[in-house]
Amino acid sequence: MNNVVFIAADIHGTLVNNLTYQLGVGQAQIATNAFEITTGSVAFDAPFGPTVADLALAAGLINAQGKAFYDSLPVANDADSALNDKDDFIKSIVDGGLAPLGYDPLGLNNNLAQANGLIKAKLLQGDYVATQTYGWTEFDIDPTTQNLTVTTYGIKPYTRAELEANPSLITSRTPAIVSQFEVEANQVIAEAKLSNVGSTNNDDLIAATGQAFDGRSNIVFTGAGNDKLDLQFSPPFAVGNNRIDAGSDNDIIYVSQNDVVFGGSGNDEFFAQEGKGGNRMSGGAGNDFFYLGAGDRALGGDGNDQFFVSSGGNNLLSGGAGSDIFNIITAGTIPSAANTIIDFQIGTDKIGISGISASALSLSQVGANAVIATVVGGQAIATLTGIQASSLSFANTAQFTFA
């Protein structure tokens, strides 16, 4: 899903944020490069901001002092989130409701870790939240760069009585820009191309601009041999969307973004730490190694596979058949988002942890899933789908290894 913008209207304000999704209730958010704009002009209903403040007071989310503080704040659209204007106050209320569910906060400049870099946006004026004025939003696409500029204009709100009493006074109000931002277009190759076919020898294929194998929507079959493919090397527009079949033998593959890679038979290695997410890596037969970044899927297949998580997280992991090891903490690095293991087999698979002790971790039950988290801060590290936390123990060396 590329260059996608979802627009919802008639909300009586403007709110912008990234779109994420879940594979199931309580599971980690998976980032996309799509975003949502909720906006809409109004006639004389109350704007979104004051309405939310009133609802928050009625629901007990803020007290009377908090409402009085909101009423005292000016309307001053700015790029920060400091509680010194009305829109930042509303932003804090909305984000407070999004955070417990793991959703991305408002704005394109304050993202979940797994969403960083997927949308290249620049705030030009105002804020990504503009909920105190009446107005409208304009969308402009540059014919050359395909960049999208979104501009929201606003005027001071008015009541129906004010409008009916003196229409010209209302219509003479001068609109001001309350939100304006630009989003860079994703460079997408519309049609995949068969760019390289390997041999029965050891192939070394590095994506580079100016050649058929450029790392953009390539279809590659390497055949037999111990092959190496680097899909990350080609700057500056190596946007991925490649389809790779590495064939038999022991292959090494560096993925980019939205790549679908099949290792085939053999002991393969997949490197995604420097990728930009959205990749699907399948090891096939053999004892495969996966070095993960953020927002990818890794499928071990047959064999005794190992998965190594770095700081990114939000990966979906499946060991497949065999005795697999899921290294959810490597060298003490805590992932910024939980990784989900969908087929952990008690008595067959293991959880690997290095650089941190068992006393620093907790096991809990969230719905039908077991969750491993840090004791301090409660940062979720891994979700084991369909596993009861009561059936796990950090002291059980058949289940956990600590180094």
- Predicted pLDDT at 1: 47
- Residue 129 near residue 87, CB atoms below 8 Å: yes
Q: Above 60 in pLDDT, residue 353?
A: yes
Model pLDDT for residues 60-87, shown as the tens digit of each residue: 999 999 999 999 999 988 888 888 899 9
Greater confidence, 246 or 4? 246
- Predicted pLDDT at 178: 92
What is the pLDDT averaged over residues 311-323? Answer: 92
One-letter amino acid at 335 equals P
- Predicted pLDDT at 340: 96
Interatomic CA distance for residues 393 and 366, integer angstroms:
16
- Predicted pLDDT at 234: 54
- Predicted pLDDT at 25: 67
Greater confidence, 207 or 297? 297
| H/E stretch holding 125 | strand 121-126
3-state secondary structure of 372: strand
Interatomic CA distance for residues 163 and 170, integer angstroms:
6
82 phi, psi to nearest 5 deg: -65, 140
Residues belonging to the chain: 403
Q: Above 80 in pLDDT, residue 143?
A: yes
Split at pLDDT 50, 70, 90, the class of 189 is: very low
| H/E stretch holding 27 | none
| H/E stretch holding 390 | none
Task: Report DSSP state, residue 46.
Answer: P
Q: For residue 132, what are its two tokens?
A: 């105190």
Q: Above 90 in pLDDT, residue 223?
A: no
Split at pLDDT 50, 70, 90, the class of 190 is: very low
3-state secondary structure of 97: helix
CB-side exposure of 308: number of CA atoms within 13 Å? 14
What is the average pLDDT score of the chain?
Answer: 86
Model pLDDT for residues 281-305, shown as the tens digit of each residue: 999 899 999 999 999 999 998 999 9
Contacts of residue 106, Cβ cutoff 8 Å, sequence gap at least 6: 15, 16, 17, 91, 94, 95, 98, 128, 129
| H/E stretch holding 68 | helix 64-72
Return the minimum-mean-pLDDT range out of 33-37, 209-213, 320-324, 339-343.
209-213
Model pLDDT for residues 144-154, shown as the tens digit of each residue: 888 999 999 98
Q: Above 80 in pLDDT, residue 199?
A: no
For the CA atoms of 394, 281, 257, 242, the dihedral, rounded to the nearest 10 degrees, stands at 180
Q: Above 70 in pLDDT, residue 232?
A: yes
Other residues' Cβ atoms within 10 Å of the Cβ of residue 10: 10
Q: For residue 12, what are its two tokens?
A: 């009586």
Return the minimum-mean-pLDDT range out of 30-39, 354-363, 392-401.
30-39
